[in-house]
């Protein structure tokens, strides 16, 4: 069987074929294929976020199906809109690909992305395709704010720190894959519904993409506070526990790509939070608290249940610092 590659069909040929598969909802006034798309303006504020997956940096072909990769590229952006307490509306996708990339790969990526978009009421309204040495997928997601956006600033000393789902599962899988073992990277969770329920109670919210310590650090920096996390309370993913054993919690605290919600909530809302749990579709765990900034002390501190500090090697993922 002959593999058809991008150079066989060409940029415009591929785009023309793709456009026939892109559905358009009632919000779309001008869909993909024109100079710009036009969508009805939302009532609330417009939320805007963008995130990229680069081959060799965020994935290797074969780590997951191409459709799962497309789904992932959308979901990491859905996660950002969720973390603001918003609703996603429309997506643009800027693709880079080498001329020898099999057409089937790009088809699979877009099939997965478009199916996932439909599932969440998101219209894929435009994009771009350019030649580049590696596959890269940049999604820009446009959403609508429902109520005031929940930012990273707003955490206050005395607030509790909560996290949805489990941590360390994605990191453990990537660690295994990079070591050449076979592993299944868990799909990025979609916490849109949970986020919308939780947002009205939260002083601050962020998605955990670069590691709990680092992302909680972003919240602390933006809020002018510090935080203490009790390692033994952390909801470590079972696969991470199996792979890392006694180091699992410290690993999970700094591993990236979990895309769970980290939220900071005043203690008076605890009962309201607990009542929401059955509707969240995921676990919700209190893992620590916000404290005042202390001189000569790290912004985010990990401790065991006896209050003794737990050391960790690095705070989280940085693109230009080695793992």
Q: How far is the CB of 294 from a second copy (least distance, A)?
A: 21
10 lines the binding site for a second copy (CB under 8 A): yes
**In 3-state terms, what secondary structure has residue 14?**
helix
Rounded to 5°, angle at Cα 109 from 60 and 41: 125
Q: How far is the CB of 262 from a second copy (least distance, A)?
A: 11
* Contacts with a second copy, 131-170, as mask; x by CB under 8 A: xxxx-x-x-xxxxxx---x-xx------------------
Count of residues touching a second copy (by CB under 8 A): 75
C-beta closer to a second copy: residue 11 or 228: 11
C-beta closer to a second copy: residue 241 or 317: 317
CA dist., res. 280 & res. 197, Å (int): 8
β 204-208/260-265 pair status: antiparallel
Give the one residue of 129, 192, 216, 229 binding a second copy; rule: CB under 8 A: 129
* Contacts with a second copy, 55-74, as mask; x by CB under 8 A: -xxx----------------
C-beta closer to a second copy: residue 223 or 240: 223
DSSP string of 65-123? -HHHHHHHHHHHHHHHHHHTT-EEEEEEEEEEE-TTSBHHHHHHHHHHHHHHHHHTT-E
CA dist., res. 5 & res. 303, Å (int): 53
Q: Which of residues 99-118 bind a second copy (CB under 8 A)?
A: 99
290 lines the binding site for a second copy (CB under 8 A): no
Q: Give backbone dihedrals phi and psi of 76, rounded to 5 degrees, phi first.
A: -65, -25
C-beta closer to a second copy: residue 247 or 318: 318
Q: How far is the CB of 26 from a second copy (least distance, A)?
A: 13
Q: Which of residues 73-102 bind a second copy (CB under 8 A)?
A: 79-81, 83-84, 86, 90, 92-94, 96, 99
CA dist., res. 96 & res. 84, Å (int): 28
Which residues pair with residue 205 across a beta bridge? 263
Which residues touch 39 (CB under 8 Å, ≥6 apart)? Answer: 27, 28, 29, 89, 90, 123, 125, 142
C-beta closer to a second copy: residue 153 or 310: 153
* Contacts with a second copy, 16-55, as mask; x by CB under 8 A: -------------xx--xxxxxxxxxxxxxxxxxxxx-x-
8 A C-beta contact, residue 199 and residue 205: yes
* Contacts with a second copy, 190-219, as mask; x by CB under 8 A: ---------------xxx------x-----
Q: How far is the CB of 148 from a second copy (least distance, A)?
A: 9
Residue carrying structure tokens 């020898």: 100
């Amino acid at each position: 069987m002959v593999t058809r590659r991008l150079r066989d069909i060409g940029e415009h040929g591929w785009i023309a074929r793709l456009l026939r598969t892109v559905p358009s909802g009632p919000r779309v006034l001008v869909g993909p294929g024109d100079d710009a798309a036009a969508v009805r303006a939302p009532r609330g504020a417009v939320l805007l976020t963008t995130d990229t997956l680069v081959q060799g940096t965020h994935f290797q072909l074969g780590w997951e199906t191409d459709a799962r990769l497309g789904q992932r590229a959308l979901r990491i952006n859905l996660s950002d809109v969720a973390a603001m307490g918003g609703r996603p509306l429309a997506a643009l996708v800027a693709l880079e690909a080498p001329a020898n990339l099999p057409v089937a790969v790009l088809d699979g990526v877009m099939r997965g992305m478009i199916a996932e978009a439909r599932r969440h009421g998101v219209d894929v309204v435009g994009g771009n395709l350019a030649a580049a040495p590696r596959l890269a997928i940049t999604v820009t997601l446009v959403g609508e704010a429902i109520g005031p956006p929940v930012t990273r600033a707003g955490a206050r000393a005395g607030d509790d720190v909560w996290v949805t789902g489990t941590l360390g599962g994605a990191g453990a899988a990537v660690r295994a894959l990079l070591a050449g073992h076979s592993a299944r990277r868990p799909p990025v969770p979609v916490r849109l519904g949970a986020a919308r329920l939780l947002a009205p109670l939260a002083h601050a919210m962020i998605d955990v993409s670069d590691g709990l310590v680092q992302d909680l650090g972003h919240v602390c920096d933006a809020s002018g506070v510090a935080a203490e996390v009790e390692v033994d309370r952390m909801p470590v993913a079972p696969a991470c526990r199996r792979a890392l054993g006694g180091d699992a919690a410290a690993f999970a605290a700094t591993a990236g790509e979990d895309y769970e919600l980290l939220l900071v909530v005043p203690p008076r809302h605890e009962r309201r939070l607990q009542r929401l749990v059955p509707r969240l579709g995921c676990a919700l765990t209190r893992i620590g608290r916000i404290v005042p900034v202390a001189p000569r002390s790290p912004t985010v501190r990990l401790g065991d249940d006896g209050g003794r500090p737990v050391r960790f090697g690095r705070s989280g993922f940085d693109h230009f610092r080695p793992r």
